[in-house]
């Protein structure tokens, strides 16, 4: 009987040790590890049209409108006779820390004055790079077309152009 009791006590002891080992093992494997962190990109995108100015006028040319946003510039010129012209200078600034690439430059001309023509004098090429911190200028010239043979309505001698500069991050 003593032998049976000793065997039973040993069996109970082994089972208790097994339960303790299984509890510790379960606790070790049931632990959830959480790894956290923060990543920041220190780059700043800031490419914009920063100024428009009239830099040259000939004859009786006048500027009726010159406005701009970060990506568009709009001008309207009033030209009354052959020889009239006006030139605008647009300043584009990359104040950011990322180089920019000109995806496209889109001119849209509106107005009824067919005698007025616009010319982009030194427009940047598509895919040209505007480096961080760099400033470029481009010129637009509005001129009364001396070869125009249509009838010029004195009430319709204004024509506007809107330029849209589409810059993207240079990769």
Tell me the pLDDT of the chain averaged across its residues. Answer: 85
**For residue 115, is it within any domain?**
yes
CA distance 19 to 33: 25
Largest interatomic CA distance in the chain: 130
Long-range residue pairs from 68-74, CB within 8 A, at least 24 positions apart, any chain: 71/164, 71/165, 71/166, 71/167, 72/162, 72/163, 72/164, 72/165, 73/49, 73/162, 73/163, 73/165, 74/160, 74/161, 74/162, 74/163
**For residue 133, is it within any domain?**
yes
**For residue 32, is it within any domain?**
no
Question: Taking 70 as the threshold, does the pLDDT of residue 18 lie above it?
Answer: yes
**For residue 39, is it within any domain?**
no
- The count of structural domains within the chain is 1
Each residue of 98-142: pLDDT tens digit? 999 999 998 888 877 778 888 898 889 999 999 999 999 999 998
**For residue 36, is it within any domain?**
no
User: For the domain that residue 100 is a member of, what is the CATH number?
Assistant: 2.60.40
* Domain coverage including residue 60: 47-169
**For residue 20, is it within any domain?**
no
**For residue 124, is it within any domain?**
yes
Identify the DSSP state of 33: P
Give the residue-averaged pLDDT of 50-68.
91
**For residue 3, is it within any domain?**
no
Confidence of residue 64 (pLDDT cuts 50, 70, 90): confident
Q: What is the pLDDT of residue 32?
A: 66
């Amino acid at each position: 009987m003593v032998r049976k009791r000793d065997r039973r006590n040993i069996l109970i002891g082994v089972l208790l040790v097994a339960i303790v080992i299984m509890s510790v093992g379960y606790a070790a494997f049931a632990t959830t590890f959480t790894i956290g962190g923060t990543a920041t990109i220190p780059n700043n995108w800031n490419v914009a049209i920063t100024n428009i100015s009239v830099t040259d006028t000939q004859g009786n040319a006048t500027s009726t409108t010159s406005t701009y946003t970060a990506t568009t510039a709009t001008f309207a010129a009033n030209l009354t006779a052959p020889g009239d012209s006006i030139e605008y200078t647009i300043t584009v600034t990359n104040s950011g820390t990322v180089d920019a690439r000109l995806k496209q430059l889109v001119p849209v001309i509106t107005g009824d004055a067919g005698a007025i023509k616009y010319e982009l004098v030194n427009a940047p090429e598509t895919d040209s790079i505007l480096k961080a911190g760099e400033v470029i200028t481009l010129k637009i010239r509005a001129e009364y077309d001396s070869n125009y043979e249509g009838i010029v309505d004195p009430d319709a001698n204004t024509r506007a152009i809107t330029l849209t500069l589409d810059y993207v991050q240079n990769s």
